[in-house]
Amino acid sequence: LSAPLYADLPGDVAVSFEFFPPKTEAMEKTLWESVETLTPLAPRFVSVTYGAGGSTRERTHSTVARIARETAIPAAAHLTCVNANRDDIDAIADAYWQAGVRHIVALRGDPPEKGGRFEPRADGYASAAELVAGLKRLHDFEISVSAYPEVHPEAGNLTTDLDAFKAKLDAGATRAITQFFFEPDTFFRFRDQVAAAGIAAEVVPGILPVSNFAQLQRMAVPCGTDVPGWMAHLFAGLDDKPAARQLVAASVAAELCRRLYAGGVRHFHFYTLNRAELAYAICHMLGVRPTVAAAVIRERAA
């Protein structure tokens, strides 16, 4: 692919950022500093994850509600079907609607135990597609869902996975955000497969800037994401060199984004892990710059 040089990028890139709900005061401070740093980049939306098994129900709500209240950026709440019946989900969704949150990232979710399998409840939703339909019945939310360029680990094959993806869109979702991946061709191949399956919805690549390689290896296995050998090679010997690791991390993610851009991608979703620096640097290289209008952070509640 002949990619344009960074300096030539015409500023037509949209971004979104994913955060997780903080557990401690120190983590809360880091999160809000990151929100303040990234908000001026005018993301299309920012989203907040929902802990495994619904373990962060209150914290996800309070984080999303605070973003909705205090910034001019549309906030999206992740929501899963795990450990909840349909009434629980309705109550959570109603509370978001009342807080002015209009965008849900609807997921099936995984059980909290590592390696455990999702068991649907008789009174709950059995898949993300069912959750999307339930949410749409309740309110006219904008709904994003997941997609898996390397196939979801539980799906028997690509066709089953694409059928599940299509079912989520048929139920009312409008966009998919992908699981993270590291080779541009993984995304392009998936984009072709999606198109061949007759799916026209927007598929936004999920970008994970990696600065902790050991942590990545733990995260990638249950997600079914291939970690290419060249990445292991790039990060080898940098365990006790955090500054060098950050530089390598930014280069790897920026190069992935640049090649995706050259292949026509114009919206990138960043898994920030609540840190702004890498996402900010990569956005900058993609031509995404702060705007005054987006910098408005509404007056903080005392």
Q: Min. distance of Cβ 18 from ligand FAD in angstroms?
A: 7
Query: Least distance (Å) from ligand FAD to the CB of residue 272?
Result: 13
Nearer to ligand FAD, 49 or 71 (CB): 49
Site track 158-177 with ligand FAD (rule: CB under 6 A), x = hit:
--xx--x---x--------x
Mark whether 18 is an active-site residue. Answer: yes
Q: How many residues bind ligand FAD (CB under 6 A)?
A: 24
Scanning 21-29, 30-38, 127-135, 186-194 for contacts with ligand FAD by CB under 6 A, the matching segment is 127-135
Contacts of 26 (CB under 8 A, 6+ apart): none
Site map (CB under 6 A) of ligand FAD, residues 8-47, x = contact: ----------------------------------------
Could you say which of 35, 64, 84, 107 contacts ligand FAD (CB under 6 A)?
Answer: 107
Among 22, 109, 149, 172, binds ligand FAD (CB under 6 A): 109
Distance CA 15, CA 26 (A): 26
Within residues 67-106, the interface with ligand FAD by CB under 6 A covers 78, 80, 105
**Closer to ligand FAD by Cβ: residue 190 or 235:** 190
**Binding ligand FAD by CB under 6 A: which of 128, 250, 260, 278?**
128
- Number of other CB atoms surrounding residue 2 within 10 Å: 4
Binding stretches for ligand FAD (CB under 6 A): 49-50, 52, 78, 80, 105, 107-110, 127-129, 146, 152, 154-155, 160-161, 164, 168, 177, 179, 206
Any idea which residues carry the catalytic annotation?
Answer: 18
